[in-house]
Amino acid sequence: MCGIVGFVGKHQAAPILLDGLARLEYRGYDSAGLAIRNGEEPAEVVKSKGRLKILAEKTDNGNSLVGNCGIGHTRWATHGEPSKTNAHPHVSGNCTGSGSGEVESEVVGVHNGIIENFKELKEKLLKHGYAFYSQTDTEVVVKLVDYYYKKYNTDPADAIAKTMVRVRGSYALCMMFKSHPGEIWVARKDSPMIIGVSNGETFVASDVPAILKYTRNVYYIGNMEIARLTPGEVTFFNLDGDVIEKKLTEIKWDAKSAEKGGFEHFMMKEIHEQPKAVSDTIASVVKDGRIELENIGLDEEAIKNISHIYIVACGSAYHTGVVTQYVIEDLAKIPVRVELASEFRYRKPLLDKNGLVIVVSQSGETADTLAALRLAKEKGIKTLAIVNVVGSSIAREADNVFYTLAGPEIAVATTKAYSTQLIAGYLLAIQFALVRGQIDEEKYSLLITELGTIPKKIEKILEDKERIQWFVAKQANAQDVFFIGRGIDYAVCLEGSLKMKEISYVHSEAYAAGELKHGTISLIEDGTLVIGVLTQGELYEKTVSNMVEVKSRGAYLMGLTSYGHYEIEDTANFTVYIPKTDEHFSASLSVIPLQLMGYYLSVSRGLDVDKPRNLAKSVTVE
């Protein structure tokens, strides 16, 4: 989604803004722009279509834009095609492209989100003599702020508040007013935005990595709140214009964690960070061999009272929910339903009042997941969020939060966050199983001990990554790939297939192996790559049979199984082995070769691994 960065302080703003925007590139974008103010001078606006480097070249890396106060934006088009005209910042005057519109404009602003009633507001403004140069909803908001500012001859906080009352939708807005030099004004509803301060300077951004290099001290601006940023100071207001006090929070992530650290791509770096991310997440709740969940509202009584569990999420986070469903139902014997957040929020779900809704999200900002969480809360159901980004909207709104400790995840394709979400699911399942009398102390200890071995086992798989690279190099021209498995293996197939699709642009499908015969098998042709995942003892033979069925129809087979199942080589053309583990945890290991396959296929096809086309890291709009 769009990325926003703002800065006011002692240094030249434009290079800082460009650096911050570059760190938000993973959010996806199609154009970019800056607005810089030099003292009392009106804002200078520069925009360009395409990659950020075009804007950087145009401005000599920001050095040609003089001024210590500015806002920047990378746009991911929602209203209006990607173009220089539709790129942000937008101005309240008539943007002629010659710069005169910018000079006359009182308000200049950037926006992330969607204004749902922008057409109606545009009509209103047209009647009041405003002219529009772009197709964006953002231009409408900027002009509406200008309208209220002038109509009521008021201050920015009041003009913004009046605008917020009129607009429907989601937004993180960042604006400068010509008559208020040295100030940046921001407002937020349902779109992420954080404000950082350090040494007499103030930063605002859509996400932490943009400002981590400069400060780790941040304020979280709440929904329907406004803030004025001046050098080193921030004042927060509510819609009535009352000042709100906020506490400064220290972000624990260190700046290096948002750098590539010698790897060619963030995705490969993050794949290698999985052992640490997994072990940190385990250590966050396992103390002296016991899982402690009291801090997240799950004491013994609360656990015993859970009648149903509803896991709600999107994309890969949903896939971890599918794994967790198998594990919780098998270990703790609690009925679990897993739902896509985009479906859950509109299907009027019937939820048991003693149920627990678990939402899973790396970013904590996914619009559908946030809406699902709010729906569950409205219905009075207890909510738990498994979230990676501290202070994100979902983290703030859920009744309780289980933080995964993956650190910043930059690559669009999730790897380490996925792995830590699995761990969170296992930990809940093990504790629920013990408290509800489904496993004894001995089994409990065994499971926790086994969980502790996962990081080393992931490392072992990574040591052999070149073998997967070699195999993938031979598959670089694959057109269609099928992933088949049963139970937890099927859940992993969903993730393996998504990894392949999103970064390699190769059509792939995950199929429950037993379903193939019900239609999909007709797609198998000579040489079609079919990857069978077989880590579940009871289901092993059944999946082998399905692999044999597709092989007899021409499929080229890859088997992914645990060491010891060497007979798979009688069936598969190529086999990848993973270390043995408790079968409940096998997804944590079997997913690693599949992540590597997606990665290497993308590299071999010369694609942009970290920033795949059309995709954004955090999907903050519907």
Which of residues 125, 144, 619, 621 is near ligand AGP by CB under 6 A? 619
Residues 445, 449, 455, CA angle at the centre, nearest 5°? 155
Q: Is 314 an interacting residue with respect to ligand AGP (CB under 6 A)?
A: yes
| Nearer to ligand AGP (CB atom), residue 137 or residue 365 | 365
Helical segments of 407-564, H only: 416-435, 441-463, 465-474, 488-504, 537-551
- What gap in Å lies between CA 25 and CA 55, rounded to an integer? 13
- What gap in Å lies between CA 524 and CA 553, rounded to an integer? 7
* Strands, sheet with 529-534, edge to edge from the N-terminal-most edge strand: 507-512, 480-485, 529-534, 556-562, 574-578
| Nearer to ligand AGP (CB atom), residue 548 or residue 607 | 607
- What gap in Å lies between CA 88 and CA 78, rounded to an integer? 12
Distances (CA, A) of 535 to 275, 389, 394, 447: 20, 32, 34, 17
Which of residues 315, 487, 496, 532 is near ligand AGP by CB under 6 A? 315
Residues 107, 225, 122, CA angle at the centre, nearest 5°? 45
Q: Is 412 an interacting residue with respect to ligand AGP (CB under 6 A)?
A: yes
| Nearer to ligand AGP (CB atom), residue 278 or residue 539 | 278
Look at residues 17, 38, 135, 42 and name the one whose alpha carbon lies nearest to residue 85: 135
Residues constituting the chain: 622
Q: Binding segment for ligand AGP among 5-13, 215-223, 315-323, 517-525 (CB under 6 A)?
A: 315-323
| Nearer to ligand AGP (CB atom), residue 366 or residue 504 | 366
| Binding track, positions 453-492, relative to ligand AGP; x by CB under 6 A | ----------------------------------------
Which amino acid, 330? D
Q: Is 316 an interacting residue with respect to ligand AGP (CB under 6 A)?
A: yes
Q: Is 392 an interacting residue with respect to ligand AGP (CB under 6 A)?
A: no
| Nearer to ligand AGP (CB atom), residue 29 or residue 147 | 29
Q: Which residues are catalytic?
A: 2, 617
Q: Binding segment for ligand AGP among 3-11, 231-239, 314-322, 517-525 (CB under 6 A)?
A: 314-322
Q: How far is the CB of 358 from ligand AGP (least distance, A)?
A: 13
Q: Is 561 an interacting residue with respect to ligand AGP (CB under 6 A)?
A: no
Q: Binding segment for ligand AGP among 216-224, 247-255, 358-366, 485-493 (CB under 6 A)?
A: 358-366
Q: Is 414 an interacting residue with respect to ligand AGP (CB under 6 A)?
A: yes
Are the CB atoms for 412 and 385 separated by under 8 Å?
no
Q: Is 361 an interacting residue with respect to ligand AGP (CB under 6 A)?
A: yes
Q: How far is the CB of 387 from ligand AGP (least distance, A)?
A: 8
Q: Is 366 an interacting residue with respect to ligand AGP (CB under 6 A)?
A: yes
Q: Reduced to 3 states, what is the DSSP secondary structure of residue 268? A: helix
- What gap in Å lies between CA 170 and CA 131, rounded to an integer? 24
- What gap in Å lies between CA 346 and CA 341, rounded to an integer? 9
Q: Binding segment for ligand AGP among 313-321, 444-452, 467-475, 557-565 (CB under 6 A)?
A: 313-321
| Nearer to ligand AGP (CB atom), residue 314 or residue 493 | 314
Q: How far is the CB of 364 from ligand AGP (least distance, A)?
A: 7
Residue 89 preceded by cis peptide, ω within 30: yes
Q: Is 363 an interacting residue with respect to ligand AGP (CB under 6 A)?
A: yes
Q: Is 258 an interacting residue with respect to ligand AGP (CB under 6 A)?
A: no
Q: Write out the DSSP string of 115-130.
A: ETTHHHHHHHHHHTT-
Distances (CA, A) of 353 to 186, 325, 328, 376, 560: 39, 19, 19, 10, 41
Q: Is 502 an interacting residue with respect to ligand AGP (CB under 6 A)?
A: yes
Which of residues 48, 191, 618, 620 is near ligand AGP by CB under 6 A? 618
| Nearer to ligand AGP (CB atom), residue 12 or residue 361 | 361
Q: Is 508 an interacting residue with respect to ligand AGP (CB under 6 A)?
A: no
| Nearer to ligand AGP (CB atom), residue 118 or residue 318 | 318
Three-class secondary structure assignment of 461-483: HHHCHHHHHHHHHHCCCCCEEEE
Q: How far is the CB of 619 from ligand AGP (least distance, A)?
A: 5
Q: At 576, which helix (H) or strand (E)?
A: strand 574-578
Q: How far is the CB of 107 from ligand AGP (least distance, A)?
A: 32
| Pairing assessment for the beta strands 382-387 and 356-361 based on DSSP bridges | parallel
Q: Is 413 an interacting residue with respect to ligand AGP (CB under 6 A)?
A: yes
| Nearer to ligand AGP (CB atom), residue 86 or residue 366 | 366
Q: Is 115 an interacting residue with respect to ligand AGP (CB under 6 A)?
A: no
- What gap in Å lies between CA 363 and CA 406, rounded to an integer? 11
Q: Is 275 an interacting residue with respect to ligand AGP (CB under 6 A)?
A: no
| Pairing assessment for the beta strands 309-313 and 356-361 based on DSSP bridges | parallel
Helical segments of 291-415, H only: 300-304, 315-332, 341-344, 367-378, 393-397
The residue with tokens 């001024």 is 67
Are the CB atoms for 572 and 557 separated by under 8 Å?
yes
| Nearer to ligand AGP (CB atom), residue 581 or residue 618 | 618
Which of residues 291, 317, 547, 555 is near ligand AGP by CB under 6 A? 317
Nearest residue to the partner ligand AGP, using Cβ: 315
* Total binding residues toward ligand AGP, as defined by CB under 6 A: 15
Q: Is 371 an interacting residue with respect to ligand AGP (CB under 6 A)?
A: no
Residue numbers at the binding site for ligand AGP (CB under 6 A)? 314-317, 361-363, 366, 369, 412-414, 502, 618-619
